[in-house]
């Protein structure tokens, strides 16, 4: 009897020790995730600090003169180009993703969704450079030979529009996967009650399903914007990479990720230029945080309104 009690106590002690170990490492992982954005922001700030000592923040953000040899670093053309490409890509991809997710989850049969899931995963897994080559072979000629002439514009095709089209195709599987899971999570009982009260299928989707899934939809688009804003290789290959503030979508641009990718390796030996590229990364980081914060605020406001 004493031996059994001793083994039970030993077993309980082992369970307590194992439980404490698991709790500690899970807490450590949680803390690591929490502090990682702060560590990244601090690291980028200190790497950019050398530039702040030479050029004012206003001149960095709101001037367009880019002459590194004369210590003139105006990031406005890169910021405007990034916003052009990202916003256009979201405008192209958002209705496609939303309507496709509604079709697959609300109208389509389960076997169609089972077929589409691997297709979406394949699109998501295609390397960025492949999308870039596809953009050069298909999208650039399409813009220069067919779309631009409609507006009586002569362009090489390497433009904001080409970058936005390629980028919209790249983020479609990312956003679509999230939206499908969000619509699948809407309780079936809600749609059944709405249909039983005489609402049509589309009225049920419009006033019940979308309303219930609205926070998730905003979150999906917010994550899509964050993903789009940082895409590099494919956009770099088709956007033109001209340091100039674009005034229309048929002009070339130069997004921030392309600036970093094109110059970082060979400019590390020049402290001012290296600091400028780190500041470009810091701007990217800050803009993504702002987009995510704005989407989170929109979700909170919606939940409070309809609580």
* Domain presence at residue 237: yes
- Cα–Cα distance between 18 and 297 in angstroms, integer? 40
Q: Assign 226 a pLDDT band (cuts: 50, 70, 90).
A: confident
Burial 28-58 (b: 16+ CB within 10 A, else e): eeeeeeeeeeeeeeeebeebbeebeeebeee
Q: What is the CATH number of the domain that holds 183?
A: 1.10.3720.10
Per-residue model confidence as pLDDT tens digits over 122-177: 888 888 899 999 999 999 999 999 999 999 989 888 999 999 999 999 999 999 99
CA dihedral 241, 258, 86, 160 (to 10 degrees): 10
The secondary element (H helix, E strand) that includes residue 66 is strand 66-67
Looking at the fold, whether 41 and 101 belong to one and the same domain comes out as no
Taking a C-beta distance cutoff of 8 angstroms, is the pair 216, 178 a contact? yes
Looking at the fold, whether 22 and 131 belong to one and the same domain comes out as no
Looking at the fold, whether 182 and 225 belong to one and the same domain comes out as yes
- Tally of domains in the chain: 2
Looking at the fold, whether 151 and 259 belong to one and the same domain comes out as yes
* Domain presence at residue 130: yes
* Domain presence at residue 65: no
Per-residue model confidence as pLDDT tens digits over 249-288: 999 999 999 888 888 766 666 778 888 888 999 999 888 8
Looking at the fold, whether 247 and 121 belong to one and the same domain comes out as yes
Looking at the fold, whether 49 and 81 belong to one and the same domain comes out as no
Taking a C-beta distance cutoff of 8 angstroms, is the pair 263, 241 a contact? no
- Cα–Cα distance between 238 and 137 in angstroms, integer? 10
Domain extent at residue 166: 76-305
Looking at the fold, whether 178 and 80 belong to one and the same domain comes out as yes
Looking at the fold, whether 25 and 84 belong to one and the same domain comes out as no
- Cα–Cα distance between 49 and 196 in angstroms, integer? 63
């Amino acid at each position: 009897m004493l031996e059994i009690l001793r083994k039970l106590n030993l077993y309980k002690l082992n369970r307590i020790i194992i439980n404490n170990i698991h709790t500690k490492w899970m807490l450590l992982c949680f803390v690591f995730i929490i502090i990682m954005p702060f560590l990244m922001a601090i690291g980028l700030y200190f790497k950019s600090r050398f530039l702040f000592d030479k050029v004012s923040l206003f001149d960095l953000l709101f001037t367009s003169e880019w002459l590194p040899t004369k210590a003139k670093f105006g990031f406005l053309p890169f910021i405007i180009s990034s916003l052009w490409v990202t916003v256009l890509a979201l405008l192209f991809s958002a209705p496609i993703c939303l309507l496709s997710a509604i079709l697959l989850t609300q109208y389509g049969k389960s076997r169609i969704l089972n077929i589409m899931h691997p297709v979406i995963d394949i699109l998501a897994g295609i390397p960025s450079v492949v999308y870039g080559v596809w953009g050069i072979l298909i999208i650039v000629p399409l813009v220069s030979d067919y779309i631009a002439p409609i507006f009586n514009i002569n362009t090489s095709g390497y433009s904001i529009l080409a970058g936005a089209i390629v980028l919209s195709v790249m983020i479609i599987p990312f956003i679509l996967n999230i939206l499908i899971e969000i619509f699948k999570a809407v309780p079936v009982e809600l749609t059944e009650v709405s249909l039983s009260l005489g609402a049509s299928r589309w009225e049920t989707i419009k006033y019940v399903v979308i309303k219930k899934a609205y926070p998730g939809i905003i979150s999906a688009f917010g994550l899509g914007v964050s993903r789009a804003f940082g895409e590099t290789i494919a956009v770099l290959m088709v956007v033109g990479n001209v340091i100039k503030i674009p005034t229309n979508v048929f002009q070339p641009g130069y997004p921030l990720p392309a600036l970093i990718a094109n110059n970082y390796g060979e400019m590390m030996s020049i402290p001012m230029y290296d600091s400028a590229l780190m500041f470009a990364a810091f701007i990217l980081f800050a803009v993504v945080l702002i987009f995510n914060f704005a989407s989170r605020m929109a979700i909170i406001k919606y939940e409070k309104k309809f609580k």
